[in-house]
Structure 1
Amino acid sequence: MFGVGASRRSWGAAVLVLQAAWALVGGQVRYSVPEEAEAGTVVGRLAQDLGLEAGEAEARRLRLVARGRRASVEVSGASGALVVSSRLDREELCGKSAPCALRLEVLLDRPLRVFHVEVEVTDINDNAPRFPAAYKNISIAELSLPGSRFPLEGASDADIGSNAQLSYTLSPSEHFKIEEENSDSRTQSLFLVLTKPLDRESLSEHRLVLTASDGGRPALTGTVQLVISVLDANDNAPQFNQSVYNAHLSEDALEGTLVLRVNATDPDERINSEVIYEIDTFNPPSASDIFTIDAITGQIRLTGSLDYETVPLYDLHVKAKDKGTPPLSGHCKVVVEVLDVNDNAPEVWVTSLSVPVAEDAALGTVVALLSVSDRDSGPNGRVRCAVRPPSPFGLVATFAGSYSLVLREALDRERVSEYEVEVRAEDGGAPPLRASRGLRVPVSDVNDNAPAFAQAVYTVLARENNAAGAELARLWARDPDEAGNGRVSYSVAEGGAGMG
């Protein structure tokens, strides 16, 4: 079913039910709810949408199966509705990933059934743009030409989509303007552009306010104050041979690995042309512990560990500064893309186990529900599952990463009373990584065996005049069933054989 959630409620107010257009396909239910919906907000009428009668949800114990972190939604026992139980923060749940979906499993008893519920947590504009600092100090040479560009670190917005699309405005200035540049689809560069020659003797410092506005309605804003100092002297800034450098590193690259070498030149002479390199800004800030640059050669090397699953892309802003008085600087951007390797083994969880299994259970009976995942991406994250050793049980894929352990062959408790089943998971990496989960499946007895005597016919010779109660013979019958099903009682039928 696909539901569109938009309403909220408080416990003391009337219930506002989310309007939903729905369809149930293959045991999967879909809803959506905006983040920050209040506790008690109805996400969807789950019991009704699963086709359950009134009271059936409570009678059959309609419930969610927990998988690791708290789901923030729950099934209302009386109504069978899916409601918000605790704060939903899309940014906390999914970060920048979209769409943001809670994938849940819902169980019903008598008979055991599983349904997969996907709740999409939609974004609201609840985060304003934020700059790394409240102030930014910039030094610009007095002789800088109109059109000169000076890179700025933009703001970030934890929201997604249009709520995170940022635009920038600068407070009125006759000397400066703001320009935005998209070097590729994933990164955006921001520049302060000089529009009119500077005169340090007339004005040595400019104070401007840069405002970032997001695309929400209403829009939220963040600001940073630019403090621009006008410098005299050295009239040529170093220039890089590229404005953007791109590098690719495997996530298992060793510390000390050379990422790349940047190069800047300065047309001035002697000390004014000698260049020193430094990394001006790191994005994310944790990159400061992972990358370092040689101040003389411009070589950038790895000084920490990479993890594709944590940060797949790094943005470094490199500054080349000459040794003039005062020094001038040029800037470039280094984009480092981390490549995935198969460094995460699959994980297998048993979310539900229904044992013992009766030996007369029908083929297809669900014995257990399992979930499988792998944090890697692409083929490294694709998982195959199998049951070992061969047994009467098999796996059925019910949803992405979800399996049912079902009965494939008839059971006979008198032959095998218990099975040790191992579910093995293997990813598609080279070489592949594996994981397994063991399950103990006992078989319960049913009365499917009649007592049997050691002989079909017994011949007994009896003396005449024997006293009543005298023993004539000892007969013994065996029943392979257990407990009450295997206890044998005897009786004698007139003119025939004893029956138990």
Structure 2
Amino acid sequence: MLFSRRGGPGARCLLLSLFLLEFCETGSSQLHYSVSEEAKHGTFVGRIAQDLGLELEDLVPRLFRVASKGRADLLEVNLQNGILFVNSRIDREELCGRSAECSIHLEVIVDRPLQVFHVEVKVKDINDNPPIFRHREQRLFIPESRLLDSHFPIEGASDADVGTNALLTYTLSPSDYFSLDVQASDEFSKSLSLELKKSLDREETPELHLLLTATDGGKPELEGTVQLLITVLDVNDNAPLFDQAVYRINLLETTENGTLVATLNASDADEGVNGEVVFSFGSDVSLNIQQKFKIDSSSGEIRVIGTLDYEETKSYEIRIKAVDKGSPPMSNHCKVLVKMLDVNDNAPELVITSLSLPIREDAPLGTVIALITVSDRDSGTNGQVTCSLMPHVPFKLVSTFKNYYSLVLDSALDRESISDYTVVVTARDGGSPSLWATASVGQAPKASSRAMVGAAGPESTLVDVNVYLIIAICAVSSLLVLTLLLYTALRCSAPPPEGACGPGKPTLVCSSAVGSWSYSQQRRSQRVCSGEGPPKTDLMAFSPGLPPGLNPSERNEHSEANSDISSNVSPTFKLLV
């Protein structure tokens, strides 16, 4: 901002106050909206510009924009009227799966001055998914010798909705032989079985056909059905019996392959082959479970065979089937509920979402330099990240929202005293031991072309004289190659003029908690000097590996020393110039 010298002190103070007020407006706010899934395109969500206190005519000049993590095309803002509306189909189940809470988080950014706002749009569930059975029919083979009150497990339905819309009730078509037994649980799905109420007689009734109906709790209600085909047998009248109906197991996500999860036991009262039991996964076990676990068909041992990740899957419900070798075979089922335990195996990540450099030395306090987002894929305390700033710098971190920070000016700048700063931001999680990552933001001073021209000294003049001599020698000498090499050596030996080889643009380099670096294909950043243009700087990006500048022997020692540590941390490196 420019001040007129002809104005009095009062006028200059007024202009300065307005200037400070403009920059101090940068801050944060949060709005909450809600919208139902499957809403049509153009459905009104909220008057976002009005609610944020922004003028409609300022939206375009101030570069009003909306950023969303994930699906950025679901919601849009009309810049003419400032209304947030549904832009494309929102499927809650596709967006959030079985999660009870589902929201779309938006980050609204405007420039001149820079402001950031956070908007949360809650997606409400509608009853748009009926209960679904895995198969159209289920076949059961039940011997006629089974005792009254015996139970025969059957598979229930699933509903992709959540809450009341996914609360299922079951009914069975009228039958003289069977009734439906439902065992409810607050944590897992309901277990269904048929309970025998009247003795079977294969000669009298060889087959039974029943209809099982599942109805959800939505309004209006949706339902699904499955046919139960029961074949009555008169041989091998004892089925395997598990010693537990449900096995509950806790596993660390770092559990290694081959680890024993559980040993199942099922006994069969029959003798000979009719009492020999074979274990296997149930027909409804997903491919994902089969890729993570295996079961020994004879011993009933379940072991880990794949990589477990709490952040990917927090629990597994494994249905196990025990079948004897009778003819026809008889079977029974149990459930193995594996609960994953989180381990602090993910380091925090820092992302610079906006960077405003260089900064003027007369910038007012509170000026936003950068917007920083931190995240950690772990859960609970392991995923709680705190940010800190290196001491003794005229900047501070301001928390604008959960895991969102602004780097702002905290004290006055004086370029004549200090022309650039390197600011280190550290993000550390709450795990034990904790993991951390750092990011560096640097500002380099600008050098004018006038200063570069005026900085030439006697050394530069001497080089120019030598250049002319070499050119003259090249005209008469047959050793052209030698003279060119001498010219190059003389040019490189002269020290560059002050200001002609200034640092390049700001860079951002991230390091991991263990301080491991990766050596790029270039050993170091090379500066190219020119008398007519600004200096240029090659860029380097680091990833986990060896630190730059190590000789071959040091590389081997470093890689062996850090082989165990670097495997636990996978930092993300960002580079901004």
What TM-score do you get using the length of structure 1 for normalisation?
Answer: 0.79
Structure with more of its chain in helix, by fraction: 2
Aligned-partner SS, 2:354: strand
Which residue matches 1:495?
none
CA distance in 2, matches of 1:76, 1:168: 47
Alpha-carbon separation, structure 1, partners of 2:186 and 2:161: 20
Instruction: Give the C-alpha shift of residue 419 in structure 1.
Output: 3.1
Partner residue of 1:316? Answer: 318
- Between 1:116-125 and 1:310-319, the stretch displaced more is 310-319
Residues of 2 paired with 1:255 and 1:182: CA distance?
34
In structure 2, the CA distance between the partners of 1:317 and 1:66, relative to structure 1 (3 Å rule), is closer
The SS at the match of 1:272 is: helix
Alignment match, 1:92? 94
- Equivalents in 2 of 1:441, 1:167: separation in Å? 64
Distance 1:439 1:153, change over 3 A: farther
Offset of 1:255 from its aligned partner?
Answer: 1.1
Map residues 263-274 of structure 1 onto 2, 5 A cutoff: 263-274=265-276
Partner residue in 1 for 2:240: 238
When residues 426 and 32 of structure 1 are mapped into structure 2, their CA distance, relative to the original with a 3 A threshold, is same
Cα pair 1:346 1:434 within 8 Å, conserved: yes
Q: Which residue of 2 aligns with 1:29?
A: 31
* Corresponding residue for residue 394 of structure 1: 396
> 1:82 corresponds to which residue?
84
Distance 2:207 2:419 in 1: 87
Indicate the residue corresponding to 1:251 in structure 2: 253
Residue 305 and residue 282 in structure 1: after superposition, are their counterparts in 2 closer, same or farther (change >3 A)?
A: farther
Q: How does 1:175-194 map to 2 (within 5 A)?
A: 175-194=177-196
Where do 5+ consecutive residues of structure 2 fail to align?
1-26, 448-577
1:139 matched to 2:141? The reply is yes
TM-aligned CA distance change 1:183 to 1:37, over 3 Å:
closer
How far 1:159 sits from its partner (Å)? 0.9
Q: Could you tell which deviates more after superposition, 362-371 or 67-76?
A: 67-76
Q: CA deviation at 1:282?
A: 5.0
User: Could you give the per-residue CA deviations for residues 266-308 of structure 1, whole angstroms, max 9, x where no partner exists?
Assistant: 2233333332222224554421222222222221111212111
Contact 2:183/2:191 (<8 A) preserved:
yes
Q: Which moved more, 1:194-203 or 1:417-426?
A: 417-426
* Greater shift in the superposed pair: 174-183 or 386-395: 386-395
Question: Amino acid of the residue matched to residue 345 of structure 1?
Answer: A
Counterpart of 2:174 in structure 1 is: 172
Counterpart AA for 1:408: D
Distance 1:231 1:348, change over 3 A: same
In structure 1, runs of 5+ residues without a counterpart are: 1-24, 446-500
Amino acid at match of 1:399: F
Once residues 350 and 99 of structure 1 are traced to their aligned partners in structure 2, the CA distance between those partners, rounded to angstroms, is 28
- C-alpha distance in 1, partners of 2:201/2:301? 37
Deviation at 1:64, TM superposition (A): 1.2
Following superposition, the deviation at residue 203 of structure 1 comes to 2.7
Q: 2:154 — aligned with what?
A: 152
CA deviation vs aligned residue, 1:2-25 (integer Å, no higher than 9, x gap)? xxxxxxxxxxxxxxxxxxxxxxx9
The CA distance in 2 between the partners of 1:424 and 1:293, in whole Å, is 45
Equivalent in the alignment of 1:52: 54
Separation (CA, whole Å) in 2 of partners of 1:436 and 1:207? 66
1:386, distance to aligned residue in structure 2 (A): 2.1
After superposition, give the CA deviation of every residue in 1:129-158 in whole Å (9 maximum; x if it has no partner): 222222222211121223221222221111
Count of equivalent residues = 421
Distance in 2 between the 1:186 and 1:443 partners? Answer: 62
Q: Which has the larger strand fraction?
A: 1
**Aligned CA distance change for structure 1 residues 324 and 308 (closer, same or farther; 3 Å):** same
* Matched residue type, 1:421: V
Aligned residue type for 1:139: F
CA distance in structure 2 between the partners assigned to 1:152 and 1:393 by the alignment: 65
Q: Distance in 2 between matches of 1:283 and 1:387?
A: 49
1:116 aligns with one of 115, 118, 125: 118
- Code of the aligned partner of 2:151: R
Q: CA deviation at 1:356?
A: 2.2
Matching of residue 126 in structure 1 with residue 128 in structure 2:
yes
Deviation track 1:35-90 (CA, whole Å, cap 9, x = no partner) reads 11122112100111122345233443332134354251122111111111222111
Matched residues in 2 for 1:438 and 1:205: separation? 75
| Partner SS, residue 347 of structure 2 | coil
Q: 1:297 to 1:193 in 2, by over 3 A?
A: same
The structure-2 alpha-carbon separation of the partners of 1:390 and 1:129, relative to structure 1 and needing over 3 Å to count, comes to farther
Q: Which SS does the other structure have where 1:286 is aligned? A: helix
Contact 1:282/1:288 (8 A) holds in 2: no
Paired AA for residue 319 in structure 2:
H
Residue range with higher mean Cα deviation, 408-417 or 156-165? 408-417
Counterpart-to-counterpart distance in 1, 2:81 and 2:257: 57
* Alignment CA distance shift 1:281-1:305 (3 Å): farther
Cα offsets for 1:449-482 (capped at 9, x unmatched): xxxxxxxxxxxxxxxxxxxxxxxxxxxxxxxxxx
| Inter-CA distance 400–171: structure 2 relative to 1 (3 Å threshold) | same
Match of 2:372 in 1: 370
Q: Give yes or no for contact 1:35–1:122 (8 Å, CA) kept in 2.
A: yes
* Contact preservation (8 Å) 2:56, 2:80: no
Distance 1:285 1:229 in 2: 29
2:38 aligns to what SS in structure 1? coil
Report the equivalent of 1:4: none
Matched residue type, 2:45: V
Give deviations 1:302-350, integer Å, cap 9, x for gaps: 1212111121111122222223332222322111111111122222211
Provide the rounded CA distance (Å) in 2 between the counterparts of 1:440 and 1:91.
Answer: 44
Tell me whether 245-254 or 409-418 shows the greater mean CA deviation: 409-418
Structure 2 residue identity aligned to 1:253: T
Letter in 2 for 1:322: D
SS in 1 for 2:421: strand
In structure 2, the residue matched to 1:162 is 164
- Mean Cα displacement is larger for which, 101-110 or 334-343? 101-110
- Distance in 2 (CA, whole Å) between partners of 1:441 and 1:219 is 62
Aligned partners of 2:392 and 2:127: how far apart in 1?
54
Q: Distance in 2 between matches of 1:94 and 1:304?
A: 25
TM-score when normalising by structure 2:
0.69
Closer, same or farther: CA 87–175 of 1 in aligned 2, 3 Å = same
Structure 1 residues 143 and 427: alpha-carbon distance in aligned structure 2, compared to 1, 3 A threshold: same
Q: Is the 8 A contact 2:145 2:234 kept in 1?
A: yes
**Percentage identity across paired residues of the two chains:** 53
Q: Does 1:355 align with 2:394?
A: no
Mark the CA change 1:132 to 1:285 in structure 2 (over 3 Å): closer, same or farther. Answer: farther
Q: Contact 1:281 / 1:316 at 8 angstroms: preserved in 2? A: no
Q: Does 1:303 align with 2:305?
A: yes
Task: Report matched runs for 1:433-448 at 5 Å.
Answer: 433-442=435-444
